[in-house]
Structure 1
Amino acid sequence: MKMLLKALFVFGVSLTVVHAFEDKTIAQWLTDNGYSTLVSLLKQAGLYDVLNSPGAYTLFAPSEAAFGKVPQSLLSTLQSDNALLQSVLKYHVLQGYTLSPTINNGAAKTTLNGQDVTFKVFANRTIMVNNAVVKSGSSDIILNNGVIHVLDSVLLPVTDKVGEILLKRNDEFSTLNLLLTITDLAPSLLAGNVTLFAPTNDAFNRVTTQLPNFSDPGAIDIYKKILLNHVVNGAVPSSALSNGQTVTALGGGTLQVGIDSNGVSITPTGSSISGKVTEADVTAINGMIHVVDQVLVPAKL
């Protein structure tokens, strides 16, 4: 409770804009107020006791109606995969008290599963968390170990790795997927933490005549070098890219970043061919994908 009062003081939050304090834990309040699906899932995931213990947590609690919008197939998957269930539920929890008057439009906060949620705040103070709306009159429920904001939808974190996203979007990336398999580089996109500048099928079609046949001597090594020229270490969002920046690819070559009124382009050092980023910030649990419209062939193979 002292932590709550300190938070209210620091942020200058008037007690008139929040619910009256209830001397219950988050877990107790959910149980007492009919959040049976959420309570059941929290117990299964071993998180009910966490929200029933001393601490300071902010829970974005999906209503019963919110769970009713989740396809039964997905709900069954969550109930049969405890690690995935924990990840999804932790995506609804922040450390500490986060009261609605302290939330700014465009702000992002890191959840207990390590991924961020992003907030939208409208002129009437309606708040969205990702694509879920905080229900009117059901925010800032102050309890002795945290605060609850009730949501109209369940938040779903990113659960796919870079390689898995490419496979799910195989209609766009079938050539890239084939080459990653042939060169045995696909596992590298399922592990580690990487950013991939992913050429589409159309991008490969533009350079078909410039690439070797698989049967040519050394062809696999050439394709491997080309593909590694599209991958850099770490998750690099578009917001971290700047005009004139140089990034080093896993193949040892470098890429030049260009940013102008037409968007973001990526150019292999020494090459005259630039790939335009046509889709940025496709987020994976082990990195990031930026879709490009050209194959980033190194200047020297």
Structure 2
Amino acid sequence: MKCLVLFALCLHQVLGADQNLVQLAQSLRLNILVKQLQATGLADTLATGGPYTLFAPSDNAFGKLDGGQLNDTAAVTKLLKYHVVSGTYKGADVYNEQKLTSLLGPAIRINRYAHTNKISAEGAPVYRADEIASNGVIWLLDTPMSPPTGSMLDYINNDKNGLTILKKAINTAGIQSALQAEPLTLLAPNDAAFGRLDPGVLDKLLADKAKLTQVLQYHVIPGALFTSGMHSGYVRTLDHGEQLRITFQFFGLFKYVNDAQLSTEDVDVTNGVIHVIDHLLLPPDLAKTISALG
């Protein structure tokens, strides 16, 4: 049985290598992708040009987009161009935190996660790579990618995202430059998270720059850790290497960092990723001190 599976895989690779990227996408039953490539005029480019690496959303992945999004030809064209990179990149060719320039212009961040043995492209999990065509290679995604619209600070400073107290805390601590580094993961407490503190604690914390800075650094993880790379275990933070505990419950439907649940996941920004959380995280050596401030 194992021999038959290996033979089928080898045959698929041989046949795929005789097909251009569009033909290979058709044989992989990427029906919506092929339809949209044809509608936007990109099918000719991917059939005759190259070599290219095509990050191909599955039909189910396209189902995650807003209903009317596929009816906007200009928007779809930009979306598809963001999924194409000049050159052939196989799974073995890429490294963690590598940035590949898309045809649209913005880069695609590649992450390789050793603990989960997974690869993501701008946070989108790759469920199959190295589908070889005559003029490139296809990587299959189960979520469409979207280019970051700004930096970590841009997202925090947009009051519509409900992080106004975090913005105030960052400005008070004066750690804006630290959040401009790359790559980073920010666990961003929303306004409701700060509201769960006992009365008076927030004001006293904002008045103590040293403690405030330590608390904020405890929410920052070096590297871009998208949910596809998360596993139950510990990760180090910028707070002198203090560790956070990440747990998954109910088969990954709910994700927690310490006791805080991720309420918004995988906000990709130009210098990493943001996960919004519903509780403030307190470093173990400060937890009792800060709780006593009330």
Q: Name the TM tier (shorter chain).
A: 0.5 to 0.7
Cα distance in 1 for partners of 2:161, 2:175 equals 20
8 A contact 1:164–1:190 mirrored in 2: no
Give me the whole-angstrom Cα distance separating, in 2, the residues matched to 1:254 and 1:15: 49
Q: 2:184 maps to which residue? A: 194
SS at match of 2:171: helix
TM-score by length of 2: 0.55
Closer/same/farther in 2, CA of residues 188 and 170 from structure 1, 3 Å limit: farther
Q: Look up the equivalent residue of 2:238 and give its one-letter code.
A: L
Q: Tell me which amino acid in the other structure corresponds to 1:173.
A: L
CA distance in 2, matches of 1:172, 1:232: 21
Alignment of 1:178-217 (within 5 A): 178-209=168-199, 210-213=201-204, 216=207
Aligned residue number for residue 256 of structure 2: 265
Q: Kindly tell me: are residues 213 and 93 of structure 1, through their superposed partners in 2, closer, same or farther at Cα, counting changes over 3 Å?
A: same
Q: For residue 279 of structure 1, what is the amino acid of its counterpart?
A: T
Question: Does residue 162 of the first structure (1) align with residue 152 of the second (2)?
Answer: yes
2:282 corresponds in structure 1 to 297
User: 1:145-166, CA deviations, whole angstroms, 9 ceiling, x for partnerless residues?
Assistant: 779xxxxxxx852241111112
Match of 1:76 in 2: none
Letter paired with 2:278: D
Partner of 1:285: 270
CA distance 1:157–1:300, change in 2 (3 Å): same
What is the rounded CA distance, in whole Å, between the counterparts of 2:153 and 2:187 in structure 1? 12
Gapped runs of 5+ residues in structure 2? Answer: 1-9, 25-39, 56-71, 91-98, 110-120, 127-132, 138-144, 287-294
Deviating more after overlay: 7-16 vs 278-287:
7-16
Whether 2:78 is the aligned partner of 1:93: answer: no
CA displacement, residues 204-251 of structure 1 (integer Å, 9 cap, x when unaligned):
0111533452685xx0111111111100100011122212x1111101
Where does residue 10 of structure 1 map in the other structure? 13
| Deviation at residue 278 of structure 1 after TM alignment | 1.3
Taking structure 1 as the reference length, what is the TM-score of the superposition? 0.54
- Stretches of structure 1 that go unaligned for 5 or more consecutive residues are 1-6, 20-34, 39-47, 71-84, 99-108, 121-141, 148-154, 268-273
* Residues 173 and 200, structure 1, Cα contact 8 Å, conserved in 2: yes
Which residue of structure 1 aligns with residue 238 of structure 2? 250
Identical aligned residues as a percent: 25
Superposed displacement of residue 91, structure 1: 5.2
SS of residue matched to 1:186: coil
The RMSD of aligned alpha carbons is 4.6
Aligned-partner residue type, residue 256 of structure 1:
R
Q: Within 5 Å, give how 1:34-73 maps onto structure 2.
A: 56-57=51-52, 66-67=73-74
Report the number of matched residues.
208
SS of 2:209's equivalent in the other structure is helix
Maintained 8 Å contact 1:277/1:292: yes
The CA distance in 2 between the partners of 1:97 and 1:171, in whole Å, is 35
Q: Letter of the 1:247 partner, please give it.
A: V
Q: Which has the larger radius of gyration?
A: 1
Shift of residue 119, structure 1, vs aligned partner: 9.7
Shift of 1:66: 2.4
Q: Deviations over 1:67-107 (max 9, x none)?
A: 3x59xxxxxxxxxxxxxx9xx96653342399xxxxxxxxx
Render the CA deviation track for 1:176-230: whole Å, top value 9, x for unaligned: 01111111112222232110111000000111533452685xx011111111110
Aligned residue number for residue 233 of structure 1 = 222
Q: For residue 10 of structure 1, what is the amino acid of its counterpart?
A: Q
What letter matches 1:236 in structure 2? L
Change (3 A) 1:12 1:169: farther
* 1:58-137 equivalence runs, <5 A: 66-67=73-74, 92-96=84-88, 112=102, 113-115=107-109, 116=121
Does structure 1 conserve the Cα–Cα contact (< 8 Å) formed by 2:194 and 2:202?
no
User: How many Å separate the matches in 1 of 2:125 and 2:285?
Assistant: 45
